[in-house]
Structure formats: structure tokens, C-alpha cells
Amino acid sequence: MAKQNVAEQETLGEAMNKTELFFERNGRTMSYVFLGLLVLAALVFGYRSLILQPRATKAAEMIAEAQNRFEGENPDFETALLGDDNAAGFLDVIEKYGSTPSGNLAKHYAGICYLRTGDLENAAKYLAKFSQLKGIPGELINAQNYGLQGDIAVEQQDYARAVKFYEKAVKAADNNLTAPMYLRKAGLAEQAQGNEQKAAAFYEEILTSYPASMEARDAEKLLGSIK
């Protein structure tokens, strides 16, 4: 109690004097600390402007080459993945610039390429490495990523795991295009396990939340087959 009373009796002037005395005694140390913070800030800025930005630019240029192979009129998924003498592949982007935004996106593309070429193990591996994006365009990619992992789980007959991925896909992008599609897949995965009530709940959610979607009519049929 005595210490508290002393503190309460301390005047503003005395407190100011103590603060000045602290800086007087520790001024040099404080200067070094402040200088160190300035140097650190300069290093961070330099790292971002001189290293991160150029790396991000080069990665974007490199992934564009692989995307052309991936999205062409006749997609070449193997070359898009591995690259060739003329252009880099998604794996090259990941190896050299995996920490950049383009490197992250390349992991998603690589997973799709492996899936299209029948390598489910590597498809799941690279899709899982992808870090979720922000913003509306990114949400669609996020949903696709989860949905593809769900598709792989279905191929592996791990239906319970597939349902979890489909549910994540629905939450990742709540819209009339992708959400009902993944709800339908979740329902089918539940039916594959014999969980008809859980499947019905997914179909009913389509009808309730997305009645104008393309999957709504199909959901009615699926619901009718259960009931």
C-alpha cells in the first residue's frame, strides 16, 4: 500500500524529470536503437523493391508461358507441367519462385496437370501446397482447389474426406455457380457412404439457397430418389 501511495502522490513535474533523466542517461543507447530501426526499415524496403518485386515479375513472366500450354486450344498438360526447351513449366516456376504469388498459383496449376495426367498422388500433393488467395477472383480459385482435392478423394474412395473438401469449397466461394455444384458433389459423396439423410440435407440446401442454379433441378431429382 505504501508504494501505491507514493506513486499516487508523484507530481506530473517529477514524472517528467524522471523521463528526461532516463533519456539523458540512456541517450546514446536510444540513438543506437533508433538508428538500428532505421537501418532495418531500409533493409526491408530494399529487400522488397530490389529482390521481391523483381522476383515476382520474373515469376509472372515464367508462369505465363506455362499457362499458354495449359489453356491452349489443345492443352498439353505434361509440357505445361514440366516445360521444354522453348518454355518453362509450372514445376520450374515453383522451383525458382515458389514463394512468389505466381509460384503459389503454379502449385495449383501443377496439381491440375498431375490430375489430368492421372497422377493422383502428386495432384493431391501440389494442390495441398497452394495457399488460399484473397479477393473475389481468388475465391473462385480457392473453391476449385478444394473441389479438386475432393474429386481426388472420391477417386480414392475416401468419401468422408471428399465431403470435407466439398464443404470447404462451398464456403470458399458462396455463389450461384460453384457453391451448388460442390453441394451436389457432397451429397453424392454422402450417398456413396449410405448416408442418405446427410445427402438430402445438401440437396435441400441447393434448393433453399440456390433455387435458380443449374443444379437445383438435379437436386430435386436426387432428393426425390432418396425420399
- What pTM, to 2 d.p., does this model score? 0.76
Residue 195 has pLDDT above 80, yes or no: yes
Identify whether the C-beta of residue 54 lies closer than 8 Å to the C-beta of residue 33: no
pLDDT at 53: 63
- Distance between alpha carbon 132 and the CA centroid of its chain, in Å? 1
In CATH, what is the architecture of 135-227? Alpha Horseshoe (1.25)
Listing DSSP states for 46-106 in one string gives HIIIIIIHHHHHHHHHHHHHHHHHHHSSS--HHHHHH--SSS--HHHHHHHHTTSHHHHHH
Residue 73 has pLDDT above 90, yes or no: no
Q: What is the mean pLDDT of residues 86-114?
A: 92
114 falls in which pLDDT band (50, 70, 90)? very high
pLDDT at 72: 79
pLDDT at 167: 98
4 falls in which pLDDT band (50, 70, 90)? very low
18 falls in which pLDDT band (50, 70, 90)? very low
For the chain, give the number of residues: 227
Tally the C-alpha atoms within 13 A of residue 216's C-alpha that lie toward its C-beta.
10
Residue 71 has pLDDT above 90, yes or no: no
Query: Lowest-pLDDT range, 42-51, 135-144, 195-204?
Result: 42-51
pLDDT at 54: 65
Residue 112 has pLDDT above 70, yes or no: yes
Share of the chain above pLDDT 90, in %: 57
Average pLDDT, the chain: 81
Q: What is the mean pLDDT of residues 74-95?
A: 93
**Alpha-carbon gap, residue 208 to 216, rounded angstroms:** 9
Per-residue pLDDT tens digits for 135-178: 878 899 999 999 999 999 999 999 999 999 999 999 999 999 99
Residue 128 has pLDDT above 80, yes or no: yes
pLDDT at 44: 39
**Alpha-carbon gap, residue 125 to 129, rounded angstroms:** 7
**Alpha-carbon gap, residue 157 to 72, rounded angstroms:** 32
